[in-house]
Amino acid sequence: MKTIFFLLIPIFTFSQVKMPTTPQPTQFQHYGNQGLGNPNNINVVPNPMNILNGTDEIQKKQQLQNQQIIREVEQNEKQRIETLNQIKRDINEIDQTNYNLPSLANGKGTEYYRNVYDKMLTLNVENYSVKDVNFEIENAYLENAQDKLEFDKIIKNSGDFIIAKMKELKYDTESNVAKNYMLFQFFSENLNLKANGLKHTPFKYDFVDYMGQKDWSKMFVSKLLKTKTGQCHSMPLLYLILAEQIQAEAFLSFSPSHSFIKFKDKNGKWYNIELTNGMFTASSFMINSGYIKAEALQNHIYLQNLSKQELLSAFYVDLANGYIHKFGYDDFVEKIANKALELYPKNVNAQMIKANYSGVRFEFVAKQLGINPMDNKQLQTIKDNPNAIALLQQANEEGKKVEQLGFTFMPQEAYESWLGSLKEAKRKQENETLNLQFKATVKKTLKN
Amino acid sequence: MRKSIFTVLLILFSKFCATAQNQEKLFEQSYALLNNMLVDENSYSFKKAVFSVENAYLDDKLDTLNINKQLNFLTNLSNSLIKDRFLAYLEKDKPTVNKWASVYQIMCDTIPINYNDKIYQYSPFGYDFNDVFGHTTRENLFVSKLLETHKGNCHSLPYLYKILCEELGTTANLALAPNHVYIKHNSIKDGWYNTELTSGIFPIDAWVMASGYVHLDAISNGVYMKALNNRESIALVLIDLADNYNAKFPNNDGTFVLKCCETAIKEYPQFASALILKAETRFKQIKKIENETIFNQQFKELEKQYAHIHEIGYRNMPENMYLEWLISLKTERNKYENKKLNTFSKK
């Protein structure tokens, strides 16, 4: 027992000595707090053995080692805090970037557009009034300055005139073909009613600013009614409105930068009416513009008759375009475009609005990040910013969708020369033949 | 004496039967190969498909060694063109576009070749105005004939183009127009564009539409001007096989031809040539039916088939109109040339 105790003595005595221990995390905190900026000013733990043995060489060395480790750890800690702060600063910077276009909802006049949009959502897509929708859209641009009653009256009078003229000419007022033919005449010929001497002059094409770049209302049906001149947007729409008024069946159809009217006879044969020139045209004329790709036709984006639902989609596009022209892009534009695409997924015009919107939004973000989006090198710098990358990818994808639908850009000069080519002798002859063919059909219906 | 003559005749006859059977077997083998490419896409090879069809018609006498040698030469030439020539094209897909451009050059351009310090002239493939439709002999439509004579038509030229593209590890889409085959490519810069090998011009779509025999519905239904994928291209080759079979065995009962048609139509439902060949073959079969009620019943069915062909937009283009239209690309080049493609058109 004694021996055991004796043997244990060194252990007890050993335990008296305060040996330097490896630094513990809690200690780091301690030193860190005390000695920031002055690593030499470290409280050295007094060594009790010093009293007995004086300072040992080995102990000193160990202390030095300890101090070094502590210094290293401290430095690391400092770096860590610094990078953390840096990241925090970066995050703050990112948070200041706005990834959405600023809403224009507070702008004066936007509420008209939002009201019309909400109203349009309630429409029955299969059965709605073309006249009313179009009026609302134009009126939103004109800030409700238009008189609906007045407009309705003009349309009703025109419809009455057309029916009266049909009766005078002894057309079959029940026949869809005869109604369309009369509408065609209404757009392209001088007419007067013998019964009351009412006169009507044809509508003419307005070459000035026909794309509404300076004055958006140039494309409006109300402008067409007021001035008797219009373009390839307003004329087909007025045709549809009047067709609705006299209960004729006619369809809107698109070609590059253009729209026109289609209708079919009893045998299912389709006719194209080009209202800007008051002519019947063959599909080959449309195709020969040179800006219709086979893919566009395979995707049915051009030269197809729009269903009522697809037409509503086109009206949403009109709404969006008016809004963009007046106020610019914000998420409301995207909302409208999405609605249009929901109704008609291959609506190339709606897809273009969406692509433009995505592009504008990315440019907006790029500008905030101080990047020129057209410069490929500068674009590389966004690779650490996942939000910006996602937006760029979306912009590219939406643009690609437009291309995949078969869209090719038609320059304005090409459009003008193509439209002008209608007046060439050859086209005139084509028109004559079609017109004659058509008259024969009308007569046939008359006999029937 | 009589007996011996009889035996000789018998032997000759059986020999004749045997060769005929062998020939038919070649066609069956070719069909099996093509069909297998549709079942197992990994086995697809347009080169194999085309040459198996030509080999069947040529009674297994196609010189495949020589053809492979020629194709190797052309592939090497393309590769050296890709290496040595400057192409003003900046988009990401430049390597692919470069391959297309080199094959195009091989098909249409005269190329100087430096061999052992002597300059040789490589002459391109030209258009052969003789027997464009292969009426005299089907061989006029063959790629093997084109390789041999360097003269071909709208059948062999695009086929060779596609084969060379695939040899270079890229792809080319065939596209149809009335009586015609051409090439479509999709590049990042220009989207879909056309390559017309018979005249070496890149025409815009309006040129094809202006032939006057392309109905609007035919385009929107994909009868014409659709970029055909590899499976649909095999459908084209299947109909070549059937046409060759008809040329070889004019009095066949139509079973083999109908089999080809059905497989082709399954792959490419709007394939007008297949639908027409099917209807014509059925008509031949129906004519032989003596029972009136069955005849009427089947004839009605046939009428439906023809109505369908009309409905999808097919219109028959007279053959003489075809050449006129083909030439219009050269005479009215300015009107129909795709001016955006200045990257590789000659000046």
Provide the token pair at A367. 């500008």
ipTM over 0.90? The verdict is no
Interface contact B205-A292, CB threshold 8 A: yes
Question: Which residues of B make CB contacts under 8 Å with A?
Answer: 175, 191-192, 204-206, 208-210, 212, 216, 219-222, 224-226
Residues of B in contact with A294 (CB under 8 A): 175, 192, 205, 208, 219, 224-226
Cβ separation B222–A293 shorter than 8 A:
no
CB nearest to B209's CB, from A284, A295, A403: A284
Minimal-distance CA residue of chain A relative to B218: A298
Using a CB–CB cutoff of 8 Å, tell me whether A434 touches chain B. no
Residue in chain A nearest B212 by alpha carbon: A284
Pick B219's closest partner by Cβ from A289, A298, A403. Answer: A298
> Cβ of A409 under 8 Å from any chain B Cβ?
no
Q: For position A291, what pLDDT does the model report?
A: 82
A295 and B192 in contact by Cβ < 8 A? yes
Name which of B175, B191, B221 is nearest A403 (Cβ-Cβ): B191
Q: What are phi and psi of B174, to 5 degrees?
A: -75, 155
Q: Is A417 on the interface with B (CB under 8 A)?
A: no
CB B302 within 8 A of CB B283: yes
CB-based contact B205 A300, cutoff 8 Å: no
**Is-contact B194 B203, C-beta < 8 A?**
yes
**3-state helix vs strand vs coil in chain B, percent to 5:** 60, 10, 30
pLDDT tens by residue, A246-304? 999 999 999 888 899 999 988 888 889 988 888 888 877 777 777 888 899 999 999 99
Q: How far apart are CA A184 and CA A179, in angstroms?
A: 9
3-state SS, residue B184: strand
Q: Is B120 helix (H, G, I), strand (E, B) or coil?
A: strand
Q: What's the gap in Å between the CA of A298 and the closest CA on chain B? A: 4
Closest by Cβ to B205, choosing from A283, A293, A303 = A293
- Amino acid at the residue A24: Q
**pLDDT tens by residue, chain B, 347 residues:** 667 777 766 666 666 666 777 888 999 999 999 999 999 989 999 999 999 999 999 999 999 999 999 999 999 999 999 988 888 888 888 999 999 999 999 998 888 887 777 888 888 998 888 888 888 899 999 999 999 999 999 899 999 999 999 999 999 999 999 989 999 999 888 889 999 988 888 988 888 887 778 888 899 999 999 999 999 999 999 999 999 999 999 999 999 999 999 999 999 999 999 999 999 999 999 999 889 999 999 999 999 999 999 999 998 888 888 888 888 887 877 778 887 765 554 43
Integer angstrom CA distances of residue B177 from A102, A207, B231, B317, B326: 50, 38, 18, 10, 11
Check CB contact of A303 with chain B, cutoff 8 Å. Answer: yes
Q: What is the pLDDT of residues A48-98, one digit of tens each?
A: 555 555 555 666 777 888 888 888 888 888 888 888 877 766 665 555 678
Considering CB atoms only, which of A287, A288, A298 is closest to B226?
Answer: A298
Rounded Cα distance, B66 and B58, in Å: 15
Q: Are B98 and B89 in contact (CB under 8 A)?
A: yes
How far is residue A362's CA from residue A373's CA, in Å, rounded to a whole number?
8
How many CB pairs (< 8 A) connect A and B?
47
**Res. A100: pLDDT tops 60:** yes
In degrees, to the nearest 5, what angle opens at C-alpha B35 toward C-alphas B31 and B36?
115
Backbone angles phi, psi at A260, to 5 degrees: -150, 180
Dist CA B122 CA A21 (whole Å): 86
Both tokens assigned to B18: 């045997």
Chain A segment 238-297 residues within 8 A of B by beta carbon are 283-284, 287-290, 292-295, 297
Report DSSP letters for A2-61, one per residue.
Answer: HHHHHHHHHHHHHHHS-PPPPP-HHHHHHHHHHHTT-TT---PPPPTHHHHH---HHHHH
Rg (CA), chain A: 39
Which strands make up the sheet holding B173-177, listed edge to edge? B173-177, B180-187, B191-195
Instruction: Assess A397–B contact: CB distance below 8 Å, yes or no.
Output: no
CA distance B40 to B32: 12
CB of A264 closer than 8 Å to CB of A270: yes
Are B216 and A283 in contact (CB < 8 Å)? yes
The H or E element that residue B183 is part of is: strand B180-187
Helix (H) or strand (E) holding A142: none
Query: Residue A284's closest CA among B216, B95, B84?
Result: B216
The separation between CA A8 and the C-alpha centre of its own chain, rounded to angstroms, equals: 87
- The answer to whether the CB of B174 falls within 8 A of the CB of B236 is yes
Length of chain A: 448
A13-59 tens-digit pLDDT: 444 444 454 544 444 444 334 334 344 444 445 455 555 555 556 66
Task: Residue B204: list chain A partners with CB under 8 A.
Answer: 290
Q: What is the mean pLDDT of residues A208-236?
A: 90
- Output DSSP code: residue A306: P
Contact state of B216 with A300 under an 8 Å Cβ cutoff: no
Give the closest residue to A403 by CA, choosing from B311, B41, B191, B313: B191
